Amino acid sequence: MHHSLTGLLAPSVNDPMSSDRPQFDLALPSSKEGLWDWNLPTGRIFFNTNWQKILGFSESELPQTFSEFEALIHSEDLPIHQAALQAHIQGGTEFYESTYRLHCPSGGYRWILARGLCYRYSDGTPYRLAGSHTDVTSFKKAQEQESVLRLITDQIRSSLNLKTIWKTAVDQIQKLLDADRVLIYQFEPNWKGSVIVEKVVGNWGSTLGEVGADDCFSQDYAKLYKNGRVRVIHDILTSHLDECHVNFLQKFDVRSNLIVPIIIKEELWGLLIAHECKRSRRWKESEVTLLSHVAKQLAIAIYQANLYDQSQQAVQESEEKAHELELALLKLQKTQAQLIESEKQSSIGQLVAGIAHEINNPVSFIYGNIDFAKAYLNDLLELVQLYQNTFPEPGNEIEHFSEDIDLEFLQDDCMDLLDSMKNGASRIREIVLFLRTFSRLDEAQMKRVNLHDGIESTLMIVNHRLQKNGNRPMIEVCKNYGVLPPVECYAGQLNQVFMNILVNAIDAIDSAWEHYSNRDSPEIRITTEDWHMESVKILITDNGVGMSDLIRQRLFTPFYSTKPVGKGKGLGLSLCHAIIVDHHGGKLSCDSEPGKGTTFIIELPLHQS
């Protein structure tokens, strides 16, 4: 092309731009390209008739100077054109070549491929630049359409975010078609629907969220689109539409529209629509094809997103079921462990009650007969005294035997001996009573009891653990009992709680004396108080090793233990929590600080609902 221009537009010997305009017009009568010729010294520019036809300029609309011509170039493309032009004029390139958008009398822009050649005097001074303009709008549109399709396809492959894909689609289509409005309309199961995304330019109103007019559009319309119908309306006023249809479109300032269906697995999902509002528009086949391709890509994106959502939902449901199974298993393990621990405690209670019963019978026999023995012995002693008074000289044999058995001491000590036996039997009876109170086997149902009795019986059971142990002195138990009303509860279960907490307190104190040199005297403090006649509080405090927040937060978790292997199964406090919270509707909490000791706080309602 450049070589042909060189020959056809070769400079004349005279003024190259003085009288060759008619020859310029006839230079390429059959060319599909428009020709131009620019006089650099004067700034005048000429175009041939073919250039006018290609770009739609009339004779009176033609730019006369190069400055007027450059004013028609799109502002975004002007710097690129000027840079290429200057580079060629200054001798930096063999030919001038640039692609830009040129504003046409129709109001739009057309893509132009500009090529040219600079002519110079013998001294190198440029005086003329001539060349051709080729309309490459169709090629550029095809490139842009391909780019839009590639962009949407890439987004579909890289993202399953439908909102982002929809937004990209309407933005790019609006830009490519230069339409006033592009939107996506989604159907609902009842064939109603709404606009879910749009791109609007200018002052045209929004249709976002708007629904179709039921009195204008029946299911028949939807069925047509379901079968793949593409609706091209160049002008709503001349397309023989129903009056209500025209009125509906005019409500949104629509003058021309293009509608393609979005079909997923033979089901109509929605519509992809382009609106022209400012004037009528003849939609090109390439534009219809573009919208159809984009609609197919959107259908793929929606289908893939739905599949992904379904898979995610399935995964979530599986995870939820797995979590439920895990919770159920943990609950089962907890219940099983608590049942085992409860059964063990019950067995211990039964054993304690059995032993108490077996001890109680003979002790009661002994205790009940000591008074009789004292009476009988007293009678015998009085008889001996009577013999001594009556027979002051009993004979050698009796005197020797009296001396051997130390009769005077025996007479003085035997009553004290019986009193000691009665005190011992009384203590045994008291221990048996504590054992029976602790086991509470006769109280399987809830009863109103005195909690202090349960605490005292438990202290008696652990009394041997309170005694001096190695270098650890005896643990002092300080009781600060308030005036408590009877509490409705399972007394035997609460005694298990008291037992577990007291044993843990003793273990904590033993550990403190084993690991720390600076220690206070070992002490367990038990405080009870009435809480507004609605509940009672029992606080059991030790000055043992204490614990960290991390341990405290897991304290009531089944199978969690800080004790060495073989010394704790991690079930005691878990069972305590179940008894207080689940069985009695109370609260069990713990305050502790490493090295400062621990306080367990039990809150129990006075009455059970």
Residue 29: pLDDT band (50, 70, 90) is very low
Rounded to whole angstroms, the Cα distance separating 388 from 466 reads 53
Residue 17: pLDDT band (50, 70, 90) is very low
| pLDDT at residue 16 greater than cutoff 70 | no
Closest CA to 255 of 233, 277, 283: 277
Q: Which fold has domain 447-605?
A: Heat Shock Protein 90 (3.30.565)
**3-state class (DSSP) for residue 41:** coil
pLDDT in tens, 477-516: 999 999 999 999 988 888 889 988 999 899 989 888 887 7
Rounded to whole angstroms, the Cα distance separating 43 from 350 reads 119
Using the CB atoms, write b or e for 502-513: b if 16+ within 10 Å.
bbbbbbbbbebb
Q: Which helix (H) or strand (E) holds 595?
A: none
- Alpha-carbon distance values, 400 to 176, 396, 404, 573 (Å): 140, 6, 6, 69
Q: Which CATH architecture has domain 2-135?
A: 2-Layer Sandwich (3.30)
* Lowest mean pLDDT segment, chosen from 28-32, 206-210, 354-358, 434-438: 28-32
φ, ψ dihedrals at 127, nearest 5° = -130, -10
The pLDDT, as a whole number, for residue 424 is 76
Rounded to whole angstroms, the Cα distance separating 115 from 111 reads 13
The pLDDT, as a whole number, for residue 562 is 64
**Lookup result for tokens 């204490």:** 546
Highest mean pLDDT among 56-60, 114-118, 292-296: 114-118
The DSSP symbol for 65 reads: B
Tokens of 515: 């690991």
Rounded to whole angstroms, the Cα distance separating 600 from 606 reads 19
Number of H helices, E strands in the chain: 17, 17
* Lowest mean pLDDT segment, chosen from 63-77, 226-240, 410-424, 526-540: 410-424
The pLDDT, as a whole number, for residue 564 is 58
pLDDT in tens, 76-86: 999 999 999 99
| pLDDT at residue 221 greater than cutoff 70 | yes
| pLDDT at residue 549 greater than cutoff 60 | yes
Tokens of 435: 């054992």
Q: Which helix (H) or strand (E) holds 359?
A: helix 285-390
Superfamily of domain 142-309: GAF domain (3.30.450.40)
Rounded to whole angstroms, the Cα distance separating 491 from 596 reads 31
Residue 460: pLDDT band (50, 70, 90) is confident
| pLDDT at residue 326 greater than cutoff 80 | yes
Mean pLDDT within 19-37: 57
**3-state class (DSSP) for residue 123:** coil
Q: What is the DSSP string of 214-276?
A: TTT--HHHHHHHHTT--EEES-TTTTT--HHHHHHHHHTT-SEEEEEEEEETTEEEEEEEEEE
The pLDDT, as a whole number, for residue 541 is 94
The pLDDT, as a whole number, for residue 567 is 56
The pLDDT, as a whole number, for residue 12 is 41
| Mean pLDDT rounded to a whole number for the chain | 82
Strands 181-187 and 523-531: unpaired
The DSSP symbol for 205 reads: P
- Find the length of the chain: 609
Rounded to whole angstroms, the Cα distance separating 160 from 164 reads 8
Rounded to whole angstroms, the Cα distance separating 371 from 415 reads 10
The pLDDT, as a whole number, for residue 18 is 42
| pLDDT at residue 440 greater than cutoff 80 | no
Beta bridge partners of 489: 447
Mean pLDDT within 288-311: 87
**3-state class (DSSP) for residue 300:** helix
Closest CA to 39 of 61, 9, 60, 62: 9
Residue 258: pLDDT band (50, 70, 90) is very high
The contacts found for 368-371 with CB under 8 angstroms, 24 or more apart, are 370/418, 370/421, 370/422, 370/425, 371/422
Rounded to whole angstroms, the Cα distance separating 533 from 606 reads 8
Which regions of the chain carry the CATH code 3.30.450.40? 142-309
The pLDDT, as a whole number, for residue 15 is 43
Which regions of the chain carry the CATH code 3.30.565.10? 447-605
The pLDDT, as a whole number, for residue 150 is 80
Q: What is the DSSP string of 494-555?
A: HHHHHHHHHHHHHHHHHHHHHH-SS-PPPEEEEEEEEETTTEEEEEEEE-S----HHHHHTT
- Alpha-carbon distance values, 567 to 338, 396, 570, 576 (Å): 17, 69, 9, 18
Determine how many CB atoms are found less than 10 A away from the CB of residue 21.
Answer: 12
Which regions of the chain carry the CATH code 3.30.450.20? 2-135
The pLDDT, as a whole number, for residue 6 is 40
pLDDT in tens, 373-432: 888 888 888 888 888 888 888 888 888 888 888 888 887 788 878 877 877 777 777 777
